[in-house]
Amino acid sequence: MQISYKTVAVSGLALLLSGMTACKSSSGPESVTLSGAGSTFVNPVMSRWTEDFSKVHTNVQINYQSIGSGGGIQQVKAGTVDFGASDAALDDKQLATMSPVIQIPESAGPVCITYNLPELKEPLQLSAGVLADMFLGKIKSWQDAAIAKDNPGVKLPKEPVVIAHRTEGSGTTAIFTTYLSAVSPEWKSKVGANTSVNWPVGLGGKGSEGVTGQIRQTPGAIGYVELTYAQQNKLPVVAMKNEAGKYIAPSTDSTTAAINAFTAQLAQDPRTPIVNPPASAADAYPISGLTFLIIPKDGADKAKRSALKQFIQYVITDGQASAAKLNYAPLPDGVKQYDQQQLNMMTAAGQPIQ
């Protein structure tokens, strides 16, 4: 029997292609790199989440830039990252200016008030009005009578009050100024609540890292950061007086108590602020907030979109245990159910992600 050279060539090509396909399938899943940017508040737990997820999904690398919520929102808007993180949820007006996105609450935590008073031997306590007046620049000395009233019998240091605040657009600032606006009519009318405000007084720092640095190097300084930043830098935190009249320190439990006070409202709209809970939440820390992942609803790269969905699925389920270890409060069941519904709306090239 004669075999033509053409037949041999075709058969050889088929074998070659078959071998290439086998090599590709045996090399494992396609490598994927995801990029995210935004909240410094969530950066400690985001670092843990990305590390733990990539240990299991070895083909996925996730790079997260801790640049502040405002920067993260802008990068999502510009399409330069796969996801953003913000402590300030996008309102309907902001959403109308963007391509369709999904907002998913992924953790909650306290915005703690930390300070640099080495001479103070007892934990500092402050009421809402006193804190507002300090940030308004009305209380200038640590020996002011209003601070002394919150700390009976405590010898307060003879130091000027130095305010430290964020310089860039920040979701942490949004939570903090939303609280001050809720407890101080003067703050609400003169300064207001936003990711960026015109501060009446103070030194600026970029990111929670920058604010922490300002406080560490400035005696008499007071500012606001996420709790893990204060703990890592061995800075004390203020016990804040809540609506029940109790001085409550920031913690996972006291944040959970704040969330529980707003369960019904959060079930209707997870963007509901959880600052200044009612007096019925006796053990709630009053300056807490949810932080959100902001994800484009659709994307062209199916491999990336599938990996991103898997990562977010991990964050809102198994990742919540890691969050609790780093001073973030686990999400309540109602919010988790909302997250799952939103996550299922993600598409790749217009098609559902399996």
Write down all domains in the chain, each with its CATH number in brackets: 32-109+289-352 (3.40.190.10), 110-288 (3.40.190.10)
Distance between CA atoms of residues 241 and 65, nearest Å: 34
The pTM for the full model equals: 0.85
Which pLDDT tens digits describe the chain residue by residue (354 residues)? Answer: 444 433 434 444 343 434 444 333 345 678 999 999 999 989 999 999 999 999 999 999 999 999 999 999 999 999 999 999 999 899 999 999 999 999 999 999 999 999 999 999 899 999 999 999 999 999 999 999 999 999 999 999 999 999 999 999 898 999 999 999 999 999 999 999 999 999 999 999 998 999 999 999 999 999 999 998 999 999 999 999 999 999 999 999 999 999 999 988 988 899 999 999 999 999 999 999 999 999 999 999 999 999 999 999 999 999 999 998 898 998 888 889 999 999 999 999 999 998
- pLDDT score at 1: 43
Question: Could you give the C-alpha distances from 21 to 7, 15, 17, 280, in angstroms and in order?
Answer: 21, 10, 6, 64
Residue 27, both tokens: 């090399």
- pLDDT score at 3: 43
- pLDDT score at 333: 86
Distance between CA atoms of residues 42 and 290, nearest Å: 10
- Indicate the burial class of 42 (C-beta count within 10 angstroms; 0-12, 13-18, 19 or more): buried
